[in-house]
Amino acid sequence: MKKVAVLIFDNFETLDVFGPVEIFGVLKDLYQIKFYSLNGGLVSNAHGVTIVTEKLELIKDGVAIFLIPGGYGTRIEVNNTNLLTSVSSISQKSEFVLTVCTGSGLLAKTGILNGFHATSNKRAFEWAMSQGEKVKWIKKARWVVDGKYYTSAGVSAGMDMVFGFLQDQHGIEFARKIAFQIEYTWQEDKDADDFYNQLKITLK
């Protein structure tokens, strides 16, 4: 049983969290999901969602899979030194780190993505790049894998990335079967980015 620890902070993006949670959640014999925030307790976002979390310090020794979502909250949290210290430490000690959307900006701010390839949300790409200038940012990608770091494009791309992660862990037929089960049309090609045009618009 592999532990999936999901980082939660105020104003996390709903689907960045719960898209991946649905997929890992279906695989309840293989993965166990828990939610963590810096101080634990109830955490809310702008979509009216309030969820229960535990304290991040409980996973200070790392986990199998550490998932970092995006959302407007990341713009605030990149200035939260305590959170960055904790995210940096947990990420270094975890087996895999997965980010969705602007979650890669938050992770980049810790410095541990320096030298690694990564991607982010099209609509906030310049912001993400500004959080880690030594990261090898890839603008046209659905998701990017570099070593133990999986980073995805915006919101819905997180689901495609998690299926890609399942493919790497369990094979493509396994990943396809789970996607079919939840009636999800998986974009299997991590380099096929239908939303790249949006980047060209927003980067002007």
Do residues 106 and 182 make contact, with C-beta atoms less than 8 angstroms apart?
no
CB of 117 to a second copy, least distance (A): 19
Q: What is the DSSP code string of 92-105?
A: HHSSEEEE-TTHHH
Sole binder of a second copy in the list 10, 14, 40, 111 (CB under 8 A)? 14
Bridge partners, residue 5, by sequence: 34, 66
CB of 203 to a second copy, least distance (A): 15
Using CB under 8 A as the binding rule, whether residue 58 contacts a second copy is answered as no
CA 8/CA 40 separation, integer angstroms: 9
Helices (H), the chain: 14-26, 73-77, 81-93, 103-109, 125-131, 157-170, 172-181, 196-202
Sole binder of a second copy in the list 30, 34, 60, 92 (CB under 8 A)? 34
Dihedral sign of CA atoms 152, 158, 159, 163 in order: positive
CA 134/CA 167 separation, integer angstroms: 29
Using CB under 8 A as the binding rule, whether residue 59 contacts a second copy is answered as no
Using CB under 8 A as the binding rule, whether residue 109 contacts a second copy is answered as no
Burial of 88 (0-12, 13-18, 19+ CB in 10 A): middle
Using CB under 8 A as the binding rule, whether residue 94 contacts a second copy is answered as no
Sole binder of a second copy in the list 7, 9, 12, 21 (CB under 8 A)? 21
Closest to a second copy by CB, 132 vs 154, is 154
Neighbours of 148 (CB within 10 A): 15
Window 165 to 194, contacts with a second copy (CB under 8 A): 180-185, 187, 194
Using CB under 8 A as the binding rule, whether residue 30 contacts a second copy is answered as no
Using CB under 8 A as the binding rule, whether residue 140 contacts a second copy is answered as no
Closest to a second copy by CB, 75 vs 80, is 75
Using CB under 8 A as the binding rule, whether residue 200 contacts a second copy is answered as no
Sole binder of a second copy in the list 9, 35, 125, 165 (CB under 8 A)? 35
Residues in contact with a second copy by the rule CB under 8 A: 13-15, 17-19, 21-22, 24-25, 28, 32-35, 42, 45-52, 121-123, 153-157, 180-185, 187, 194-195, 198
